[in-house]
Structure 1
Amino acid sequence: MNNKTNIIVTLLFAASCAFVSCDDWTDVESIGIKQPGIEEQNPELYAKYLENLCQYKADAEHKKVYVWFDNSEKKPFSQAQHLVALPDSIDAVALECPDNLADWERNEMSEMQTKKGTKVIYDINFDSIKVAYNRQQEVVQEAEPVAQEFETFLMDSLSTALKLSQKYDYDGICVSYTGKVSTHMTEEEKNEYIQNETFFMGIINDWHLRNSDKIIAFKGKPQNLYAKTYLKEYDIIFALGTEATNRDMLTYEYSLATGQEVPENRVGIIISTPSLDSSDKTTGYLGADLAIDKVAEWAALPQSGKQVAGVGIYNVSNDYFYTDKNYKYTRKVISSLNPPIK
């Protein structure tokens, strides 16, 4: 992004801040006076800003920021529950409840897609499908399903999940896969494991071939995949940093995910915001520090000689609640990864 774009972005940000206050989304009723925003005040400037924003997101060289958004509340009482309140420079937002969208959700989703070039996606979790199958069969949830018996359930689950992409005009999906280390598996268990994974990844790959306009992301442990060649078609691959307790563990998880056959130039890390429960000092923390704060600095630097491709943020709406700036640390991640974005 050039200097001219920086000036436009900065001017727009300054103008916006002049007319938006923390009181805009309180329960107090307004008296009918609505302060005009930058869109109404200077449509030409705003249009140029949106043009530059979309160009920035289309640039394959920039580092990506994906967020996971809890959209379970269908009668929002806070701006933190609105998609349109998310920072404009986010590349993609994954909805945690992708079905049964309210009309206002679909309208906000469309506005983000068409105006700001933000991709809206959702998760398809292989491990959750296996747990659901085992629960139905009344067996141990961690047990590896027998492939021949599991295929019908898996196909039906994926068919239902993938149909949502067309139903709600999603821009793509994120494949969530943790998998297991096969070192201590018996040959029979390993065989079932490989068959189940191959069937799952094959269906996803077939869907993507028929929907090449959709983006496809991965999060989990790519090192546990047998069919790593599928990852060549993925836009970004997020290693799990949610269990890390310090920066060295972030680096360790990242290095595991950038192993053989994994496209290392597309590997990022995913962390979580802190819980809104003030007694929870584990979720979203690296020791005593906020993970979302420290990951901004960590991901901006090469790790094990490799460039981190992006950052994923779980429970992003928890980052909204700061008096000095909403989405304070999410914005820091964006600006740290891509310094021209102010």
Structure 2
Amino acid sequence: MKNSIKYIAILAAVILSAGACSKWTQQEALEFNYVTIEEKNPALYEAYLESVRSYHATEHQVLIARFDNKAGALTGRADHVNNLPDSVDYVVLNNYSTISETILSEVAEVKEKKGIKTLIPLDFDVLEKEYALYLEGLESETEPTLEDEVAWMGEKVNAFIGTATKLGLDGVMVSYVGKNPLGLKSGESEKVIALQEAFFGPVLTYAAGGKLLFFQGNPNNLLLEADVLTPAQYIIVPAETVTSLEGFNFAVHMASGEGVPADKFVLGVTAFDVTDETATAGLFSGNISAIDGAARWAVTPDASFGKKGICVNHAQFDYFNIQNVYSEINTAIATMNPSPLK
């Protein structure tokens, strides 16, 4: 892996020093006739891409970028998946029901050229809220049964898996927080298990076909008999409101437990929205970004569990960094996987 990082660093420096990469300019209104490095020196660019693909194929701490893809026309560079940093390992398209043809084309491009894989997300707790709204709209006098809710849940998840399959994506990220089993009332566990089976069943079948599966949430709240965590590549621990390294450790320790693999943890944070004057999410202690804080956490050894990397929600916010586009994400990648160059 070190050789891959070294070659990426060398070739990236050459590419940037050529002054030819328009990816880093933030001027949207003006048009310049840039000659890209791909046009000027195709062999050098292909060598760079080969190093990027090699990097993604090696063992390293990952960066998962959750991206708020737009449904309509893309109006700026921040809207494009192919403008994400090349060393991002995975992209999760947050708005999976409205993926444009442009985004789909870019998803195929970054996979072929750079080895970046793309997933779509589904959240159990969001589906439960949708079901409650669905019940409010019903005019039936018949009280809905557990079987009705299980069937509804199954239809939603199967439709989601159908979308992932139709789009030819690499996998899915499923979120489940749920309820603490210790707080369940008598008889409530049967309902929880039935709904978990309806939610995870189609997902596990899909993953068994060679697709990626990321789990996000609280694994200790899983009660179903089927094993969800072994086939999952990563267990993402939500920590978007945490503002200290101690808080990060506490969040992961709370997700740890019997039956939870200790070598799959990824920390989930969010990028800071510089366009929102009231925003606080994405800020860490000492006025540093949560992305930076999470990367520092990731490289701090812990004997209790393994740290596989970080997941950044709303990654496109970091495009508008005053230092450079995607400055925090690029810095986090370099922190977790430093170049051996001195």
Q: TM-score, normalised by structure 1?
A: 0.89
Greater shift, 221-230 or 174-183, is seen at: 221-230
Q: Does residue 218 of structure 1 match 2:215?
A: yes
- Structure 2 match to 1:19: 20
1:296-322 deviations in Å (ceiling 9; x for gaps) = 111111235433111000000110112
- The match for 2:339 is 340
- How many residue pairs match? The answer is 331
Q: Provide the secondary structure at the position in 2 that maps to 1:244.
A: coil
Q: Aligned-pair distance for 1:232?
A: 0.4
Correspondences of 1:1-342 after superposition (within 5 Å): 1-3=1-3, 6-16=6-16, 18-20=19-21, 23=25, 25-28=27-30, 30=31, 34-59=33-58, 61-72=59-70, 74-138=72-136, 147-209=146-208, 211-212=209-210, 214-227=211-224, 229-287=227-285, 288-340=287-339
Is the Cα–Cα contact under 8 Å of residues 271 and 312 in structure 2 kept in the other structure?
yes
> SS of 2:34's equivalent?
coil
The offset of 1:263, in angstroms, is 1.4
Contact 2:2 2:340 in 1 (8 A): no
Cα distance in 1 for partners of 2:202, 2:8 equals 44
Distance 1:219 1:91 in 2: 17
**Do the aligned partners of 2:215 and 2:235 also contact (CA within 8 Å) in 1?**
yes
- The 1:341–1:312 alpha-carbon spacing in structure 2 relative to 1, beyond 3 Å, is farther
CA distance in 1, matches of 2:127, 2:109: 32
TM-aligned CA distance change 1:308 to 1:332, over 3 Å: same
- Counting aligned pairs with the same residue, the percent is 25
Mapped to 2, the partners of 1:123 and 1:4 lie a distance apart of 30
TM-score, L = length of structure 2 = 0.89
Please provide the CA RMSD for this pair.
2.2
Cα shift readout 1:322-341 (whole Å, capped 9, x = no counterpart)? 24321001011111111138
Q: Which runs of 5+ in 1 are unaligned?
A: 140-144
SS at match of 1:285: coil
Secondary structure in 1 matching 2:96: coil
Deviation digits for residues 99-143 of structure 1 (CA, Å, limit 9, x no counterpart):
34322222111101111110011101111111111111129xxxx
Q: Find the aligned partners of 2:324 and 2:82 in 1 and give their Cα distance.
A: 16
CA drift at 1:73: 5.0
- Unmatched runs of 5 consecutive residues or more in structure 2: 138-143
Q: Secondary structure at the match of 2:91?
A: strand
> Once the 2 structures are TM-superposed, how far is the Cα of residue 3 of structure 1 from its aligned partner?
3.9
Equivalent residue letter for 2:146: A
Shift of 1:84: 0.7
Deviation at 1:242, TM superposition (A): 1.1
The answer to whether the 8 A contact 1:301-1:307 is kept is no
Q: How far is 1:266 from its partner?
A: 1.0
